[in-house]
Structure 1
């Protein structure tokens, strides 16, 4: 039933997005249409990556899901950069970190915990990811803020570019470590062969084709969505910070939200955790640095400098996630704790 709704929303939303854009419909109406269309398209991306996850296994499947889920946000962010909306882009990066670690993981732990008393995942992956989270968010994001206090804009941008290059190199090294040199070394005993027990909804070629088409459609809709931000913000009294942290982050990560919850409900916690944490790492160590480098080609460049509320919120989310996930098991109450933290931060950003 849910799949039919998303299918209907896609076949209605995409034509409406094109027609509304050509006929210059109300920006608020188009904002709603664009958001719903992106969510519908993201559902197909989620189903396609779920099919690929069954074929390739939890680690690569989770990585694919995070990558294509973040592709939506990367596309939105690039168009926002072109419009000079630096605050929205930085806020959307913050929102992605908070959304993945608190909202996606929280909903996954909570929904899965309602069905299962205790759910387990690979504790070695959790501890490995904890170190990367500490580095990517707390070290790489806080350092530019600290040094930017006594630097001019040119030096701050130079520092941001240097950090971005280091982050990309380390992220690629982390993938090489996890998928090549140490693939299977820390594999949980329950993971072995588990992904062969279920038949994928779509074959590999069909899943890849759907991913490609959905990504192209999202790129078109996202470009138009960005143009509605100013009017929507003025109409509802929202700040750019709130739009980026909450609205763009939720819409941009819709595919991951749905996939992670479905995986948790099926007791596939390795994939659910890999989607939530792996996506955060990809945002912090790959997407954010790429956006810094891409911004160099636009009139307004983007330094990797966040506001104090953004930094404290991200650091808090990282520390909370590490404390909860380092034992390799979850329950519904831990999910509720993560969700409560997200709601508190959301209220703060709304009132800021």
Structure 2
């Protein structure tokens, strides 16, 4: 399998560069870009697994979420520069839905097929549940409600204020989890695993180097992928909203998607859940507000105001994940529930 991914990278990356230079057909480039990103994501997953063994599941999951979201952040900045506000907001919605329903769903489902009962840190699950409810339901829904009575200028000021508060709280959450309360809420399973010596595939610096280079390559390919969306959308009949919510989100987060699933199949559910939920929190509490602040540098600013379908689906995904994950255990059927919800929402956005 590793040789296959190496072959895809060795072939796909040069073809991506050549195809971009010589302006091949968008539909052909779209397929090449997607396959290349998936292959590069496997290397990011292996590097993250090595780092998680060295640094622990929390930091490993955080690193993967950060590198995965860096790709999406780059794509969003280029879209903001072009004034594609609706596409950026749709991609943020897609990231929340993709991580909570698709990534977690596939992780629970595929991991559950191999292991009848999988467990993860229940304290982290409950801690993350509170943050999810705050970040999505409070920080996203309230701006929409107040924007109905505010002018565009005041709505933007309100969005900036919310963005600053979200970033501060996100940094405080990291400080809480990684510094002041690190190891305080460690589960018995983590304690046993920490006593077992596990040899990482790659050393610390090799893993960091591979992760960094793979992320740069994914960012380059993803940036070019964005330019194919318009023609590909016309060819396949995809709307701008569907492309933002489904396509951009899946491709932009391919690295962490692959990593979470790999970890789940290996029964490392603490890392898998940290990637899925941690990435969602990072999108909602850091990436989204940061994009609001970055948009001030461009002619068209982006308020933190989503459409009603986007809000309803995100709130539904959060509530479903909170109910399913709060017991600290998962199985294939719970994964199936999350996947079913994602497919229902995907059909809705396709028809909208």
Q: Which of the five TM-score ranges fits, normalised by the shorter chain?
A: over 0.9
Paired with 2:315 and 2:94, the residues of 1 have a C-alpha distance of 12
Deviations 1:289-328 (A, max 9, x none): 1111111112221111111000000000000000001011
Matched, 1:17 2:16: yes
Paired with 1:300 and 1:73, the residues of 2 have a C-alpha distance of 19
1:52: which partner in 2? Answer: 51
Q: Structure 2 length as normaliser, TM-score?
A: 0.97
Q: How many residues align?
A: 351
Matches within 5 A, 1:134-213: 134-192=133-191, 194-195=193-194, 196-213=196-213
Structure 1 window deviating more from structure 2 (290-299 vs 140-149): it is 290-299
Is the CA contact 1:50–1:65 (under 8 Å) kept in the aligned structure 2? Answer: no
DSSP 3-state at the match of 1:198: coil
DSSP 3-state at the match of 2:74: helix
Gap runs ≥5 in structure 2: none
Q: 1:193, CA displacement in angstroms?
A: 5.5
Is the CA contact 2:41–2:259 (under 8 Å) kept in the aligned structure 1? Answer: no
Matches within 5 A, 1:181-260: 181-192=180-191, 194-195=193-194, 196-260=196-260
Paired with 2:236 and 2:114, the residues of 1 have a C-alpha distance of 38
Deviant stretches of 4+, over 4 Å: none
Is the CA contact 1:97–1:314 (under 8 Å) kept in the aligned structure 2? Answer: yes
Gap runs ≥5 in structure 1: none
Is the CA contact 1:164–1:289 (under 8 Å) kept in the aligned structure 2? Answer: yes
1:291: which partner in 2? Answer: 291
**Root-mean-square deviation (Å):** 1.2
Paired with 2:80 and 2:231, the residues of 1 have a C-alpha distance of 17
Deviations 1:28-55 (A, max 9, x none): 2112222222222222111111110011
Structure 1 window deviating more from structure 2 (274-283 vs 248-257): it is 248-257
Q: 1:235, CA displacement in angstroms?
A: 2.1
Paired with 2:266 and 2:41, the residues of 1 have a C-alpha distance of 20
DSSP 3-state at the match of 2:18: helix
Q: Structure 1 length as normaliser, TM-score?
A: 0.97
Structure 1 window deviating more from structure 2 (333-342 vs 71-80): it is 71-80
1:317: which partner in 2? Answer: 317
Q: 1:245, CA displacement in angstroms?
A: 0.8
